[in-house]
Amino acid sequence: MRGILGVLLLSFVSSLDAFSIVDPCAGLKEVLEVSSILKKKERNVDELLFRGELSLKVYQSEGLVFEWMWFRSVQVMGLDSNTVEDVLTMLDLAGCSFIPWGDSVWKSIRRLRPSSMEGEVHCQLYQLESECGRRFGWNACTLVPSLNSSSGISYLQIGRHEDEVEAGAIVADPIRVYPRDTMWKIPSDRLMFTVDSLAIIDNLDGKIYVMDVSGRGVYDACERNLYADTSVEADSPDDLLRYFELRSFDFRPADEELRGIIESELRNGSMAIDGVDLREWYCENGDLLNGISDEVGAERELCWTENLNSNMKKRIAAAEEAMKIDTPYLWKEIMEPAISSIQYVPLTPEEFSYKKYGETKRQRILMKEEKKVADGRVIESETEESTSENGVKPVQGPLLDYDIESSIAPFSPFNYILISLSLIYRL
């Protein structure tokens, strides 16, 4: 019996090694019969493809299967012990075709281990909220309103941020589910980087496919290229500032034209930004500081932050370096003064979670709205010296000077064995 167990364990480890060393980019194979893998629910994509309106390509890769299966095994914050796979299964059983887009896709291709996922469904979110509530509990499924949406709904959030997470635990952020054609449009009606136009087709049968809407997104993800169709205008400054977020992940501009457009548009074009815009984006961006901004005056802003791990500090440094090199005029005129005027307030994980996701979140939104008085003026804070809720004074200057230890624990080998078992079972 022990001999059999030993052989099985050895085979598990061998299969683990075989999967873990496969680079998703090295093993990519294009799927030529696209219609054979698309469900009926994706017919809208299929029809566009066969009318010749898309340069869509579909790929499969053994390495990508392993990376995506790892992500599916991660528990979702606020869903007790339920995983990403449990959420995908619920969506499938509800008759909704969920297509993940963006970060979770290209990060899996680059083996960067995503911690968040968002995507689209073709079904009604009201219907999906009911299914979600029955499966995970009503307090775990939230329809988030939007003033800009005609339906009044922006997305369905599955999971809860408010739950405390054990230090070092690997969890996925609550999953965001958008109605079809609200998150992305095909073809895009706003400036979009090709790596953001990648989607995953996961029928939960062990086969994973990458849908490349632009036709070059997979290539750009593997080669770390930043490319966008600059003939399409940006919808907001965030579309352009996304450039620096991706640069922090070691993407490089594919051509000089893109850098020039980013700088001219953000500096004095239709998407021009000021110091207030830049500070808020810089503080609250999820892949940079992931903090909470609070404007104290025209020239100063507080940024409440949780402890940063070494990877985040490297990305912040890379983003700032890209700002200096790629957009030197914008850096000198707006970015450098804005960033240097941010005052950082470090919080404990418990304080940060409560401030960002608890009752104080609604209070902060109301306070920001109150500052925008009728005649357009901004009311400055009455006090010059600010103190955080835990009595910590804000720190002026570069956040990277802080000696903050990484809070990421190494991934457990036991999870690798579980993933390998799952792969063997499904193949």
Helix (H, G, I), strand (E, B) or coil at 186: coil
**Do both 165 and 259 map to the same domain?**
no
Q: Domain check: are 414 and 392 in the same one?
A: no
Indicate whether 23 and 157 sit together in one domain: yes
Walk along the chain (427 residues) in steps of 10 and give the mean pLDDT of each run. Answer: 41 44 89 71 53 75 95 94 96 91 95 94 91 95 73 82 71 92 67 92 88 92 94 89 96 92 94 93 92 76 87 94 97 96 88 73 50 41 43 55 37 46 47
Whether 402 is in a domain gets the answer no
In a domain, 110, yes or no: yes
DSSP 102-149: THHHHHHHTT------EEEESS-HHHHHHHHHHHH-GGGEEEEE-SSS
Q: Which residue segment(s) compose the domain that 92 sits in?
A: 2-229+410-426
Q: 420 lies in a domain? A: yes
CB 15 within 8 A of CB 416: no
State whether 151 and 251 are in the same domain: no
Whole-number pLDDT of residue 349 = 80
Answer yes or no: do 163 and 291 share one domain.
Answer: no
Whether the link from the prior residue into 337 is cis, omega within 30° of 0, is no
> Residue 28 to residues 4, 37, 57, 208, 224: CA-CA distances in angstroms?
35, 16, 12, 11, 16
Closest CA relative to residue 68, chosen from 37, 38, 21, 109: 109
Say if 271 falls within a structural domain.
yes
**Residues 120, 222 share a domain:** yes
pLDDT of residue 53: 58
Residues 344 and 259 in one domain: yes
Q: Is residue 175 part of a domain?
A: yes
Say if residue 212 is in the same domain as residue 318: no
202 and 273 fall within a common domain: no
CA dihedral in degrees (413, 418, 424, 427; nearest 10)?
A: -110
Same-domain status, 52 and 74: yes
The predicted pLDDT at position 153 comes to 65
Q: Are residues 327 and 419 in the same domain?
A: no
Same domain, 63 and 185: yes
User: How many structural domains are present in the chain?
Assistant: 2
Dist CA 159 CA 77 (whole Å): 6
pLDDT at position 180, please?
Answer: 82
CA dist., res. 241 & res. 27, Å (int): 32
